[in-house]
A and B are shown apart, each in its own frame.
Chain A
Amino acid sequence: MKDYLTVNKVSKHFGGLQALQQSTFAIERHKTTCLVGPNGAGKTTLFNVITGFEQPDEGEIRFDGKLLNGLSPREVIGEGIARTFQNLRVFEEMTVVDNVMVYLNDDEATGPLDALFRPFHTQAALRRKRAAALGFLREVNLLHKADDIVRNLSFGQQKLLCIARALATGAELLLLDEPTSGLSQSALTAMVETVQKLREQGRTLLVVEHNTRIVRRIADEIVFLHEGRTMAQGEPDKIMSDPKLAEIYFGGVV
C-alpha cells in the first residue's frame, strides 16, 4: 500500500519564489524512496514541510493516516518521522555519544528536577542511555569514536553520526537529506553501505540523492521533483530511462 506517507497537492512559497507547487506523491512502508531533481527543485523544502520546520500554504501531508499539517518539529518526531540535515547541525563541542544521547527516544530523567533531587536515579538513567546510544553508534560503525569531540571528526564521520542520531529517535520513517554529498570515495562507500543496511533491516527511508549511480543502488522507488512539482514517480529503471526527465536533470546533455 502506497499510503504510508502521503503528500497531497502541497504548495509552499517564499515571497515571490514558488518552492513547491501542488506536489503530490506517496511512499510505501519498508521501502527506500529517493527524491531526485535538479538544484532548487524543492527537495529540502519538502523535507521541511513534512517535518514541521515549515508549514505548507496548501495541501495536506499524512503519515500512517494522521494529518501532519500544523504540527511542530517536536510533534512530528513524536509521530515517528526523523530527519537529517544537509548542513548536518551536529553539536560540535560535544562528544559523539552525547550527540546521540540528545536524540535518544527516552525521556526518563531528562528534567532538571530529576538531576537535582533524584541524582542516583538520574545517573542510572544516564548509564542506560549511554549504552543505548553506543548501540546506535555501532550500527553506523562509529563506536570507536564514541568519546571523541564531534569537531574532530571527519565530514563523513559527522554524516554517519547524523544517521545514528536519527536512528536514536526510534522513528519509523527516516528522511535523509543528501547523505552522500561532499564525501570522499571511502566515506561514500561507508555511507552507501550504511544506507543499504538500513534498507535491508526493512526501514522506511526517504532520501534526497543526486548521484544517479547511488540512486540505482539504493532506491526501490524514485520521486522526481522539478520546479516544485512532482514530475514522475516510479521504479528507478523506468524513471531513469525517461528521456524527458533525463533532459531536465542533466540539462539536455545525455
Chain B
Amino acid sequence: MSFRAFIASAKGAAIAAAHAVIVASLAACGSAEAPLGDRPVAGPPPIDADVSHLPSGRPGGVFFGTLVGMPRTFNPLQSSEDAPSATAVSRLLEGLTRFDAAREEIVPGLARDWEISDDQKTFTFHLRRGVRWSDGHPFTADDVVFTFQVIYDERYPNRRKSELSVDGKPFEVEKIDDHTVRFRTAEVYAPFLLYIGTPIMPRHRLWSAYEDGTFLRAWSVRDAQLDPEAMVSTGPLVLERFRPAERIVYRANPHYWRVDAAGQRLPYMDRLIERIVRSQQSSTLAFAHGQSDYEGIEVRNVAWVKRNAADYDFEVHDRGPSQSTNFIWFNQNRGADRNGRPYVEPHKLEWFRDARFRQAISWAIDRDGIVSGVLLGRGLPLWGPISPANRSWHNPDVQHYPYDPERARTLLREAGFTWDQDGRLRDRHGNAVAFSLATNEDNDVRQAIGLVFVDNMKRLGIDVRLQPLDFNTFVAKVMNSFDYEAGLLGLTGSWDPQGGWSVYHSTGRLHMWYPAQAEPSTEWEARIDQLMERQLRTLDVEERRRHIFEVQEILAREQPLIYTVTVNSYEGLQDRWRNLDPPQMGSLIWNYDELWTENLLLR
C-alpha cells in the first residue's frame, strides 16, 4: 500500500467512522444509548411557544460555519464589544423582544406580548409561560429583573447601559408576578422596544458572581472550555464544546421555545460547528472548497468564488447594497491645542467651513468611476449616512452630487477661488489649495477610493496628499489631537437611526468634522440636534421618520461628510439548506433556527 493510499484510507476511515457516529446518533435521535449527537427531548414545548410561519421541515443535520477571530469572552455584559463574542452570546441568550430582519419590525421574544401605557413611558411585558433554560431551570421574571440589576450596577461598567437609559436615567424595572415585568422610562424613549431585546441572563447561574463582585470575569473563554454546558441558554443552541482558537460546537437546545407549524421544536439543525480561522481570506477559501455552509464574501472575492459554485453545490447570493459607508470629511474644528496653535490653519479652516467648497468637492468626485474601477461594478454611489439597504429609514430624495466638474468650478468661483496660470486652485488670499487626506492603511477598498479622489481633485487643480496611517494613530489624530486636515473613513450603520446619534448630534464623539461641541457651531447643526432630540421623544414611527429624513436632507445639503460609495453585500450558502427568509438588510441566515436540510452533512 503506498503512503498516499495509506493516509487517504486512514483519514477516510476516521472521517467515515466519525460520520457514522454522528449519523447513527442522529438516527437514534432521543434514544438513551446514543452517546453523541443525540438530541434529548425535553417534554412538550412551552404553553406560550412561538410558532414559526415558515413551512415545516425535517430535523437533523449539521451546519458548518467559520468564525473569523476567536471570541474574547462569553460574558453577556461584555460580549457586544466584538463580533465573534456577540455572535456566540446571541446564539445562547435571547431578549424580551427580537428583531425580525425580513419584515424589519420588533417581534416578541421571551416576552409573549406587551402593553404600552397612554403616556408611552410604561411597558408591561408578559413573559412566555413554560419557558426553561437549557438546564431545565424555569425562566421567570426574576431573570429579567436580575439582568437589569447587573446592567445598571456601578461595579460593572458595560456598553449596554447607555442604550438602556434615558438622559442617563436607568429604566425602573419591577416584577409584578413570575411572568409579568413592568418597565418605566423617565422620558418617552423611541428605540425602547428594540433595545429592550438585550440578552436576558440566568439568575440561577450568575447570581453568586454578581454578589461577590466578579461578574465581569464570569463566563470567560476558560470557563467555556472547562464547563461549556454551564453557559445555559434560552436560544436555539447550547454550547457543547469550545476549543480555543480551533472551533465552537453547539447543539440544539432541547428547551428552545420556538416550534414550527407542525408543533415540532426548533431548531431543525442538530449541531452548528464553527471553525475559528485567522483571516477572512481563509474563511472564504474554506467555503469556496465546500468546507463550510455559509460565508459573507468580500467584493474582490466574488468572481472566483462563483466559479466554484457548481462544483461544490453552493450559491452566491447578490444581496444588494450593504450598510457599510465610506466618506470623506474636512476638519472643521475651531479649537486650538494646548500651546494655542489652532488645529487647522486659519485659511484652510475658512475653506473647510464654507459649504460651497465642500459641495464643490462633492460634485467633483467620480462616484460611478469608483464603483466601476474599485468595486468592479459591485456597489452604488452613496449620498448620505443611511444606505439604501435600510429601507425603513433611508431617504431617497436628498440632494445628489453626480460627477460634474463644471458645477464644481462654478461653485468654487462663487466662493472666491481662482485658478493661476498653472491651473492650480488658489483662494482669495492667493493660497494654493492643498490638503492631506488621512485614512487607515489596513483597508484596501478605502485606499483605492482615496487614490481616485486624489486624481479627481488634481483635475480641479487641488493637490491632495493621501496619508495612510496605522489605525490607532489615525484614531488618535481624528479623535484626540485633531491634528489632520481631511479624513477618509467608513462606519457601518445600525438599523435604528438612534445608533448614529454620536455622529449626528453636535455633542457627539463621532461628529467627525467637529466633535463634542459645547454649542452647535452652525444653524444647520443646531437644527440637526433639535431633530435628533425630537425623534428620540416619540414612539410614533412616522414622526420619527420625518425627523430622520430631514436630518438626511440637511447632511446632504451641507456635506459635512462627503459620502462616496457603498459596497454590495454577497453571501454564499450551500444549496442543501431550505426555508430561507432573506431580509433586505442583514444576514441571509438570520433565521438559522428555521433552516433545514435533507443532506445531514456536507459531502
Same complex origin of A and B: no
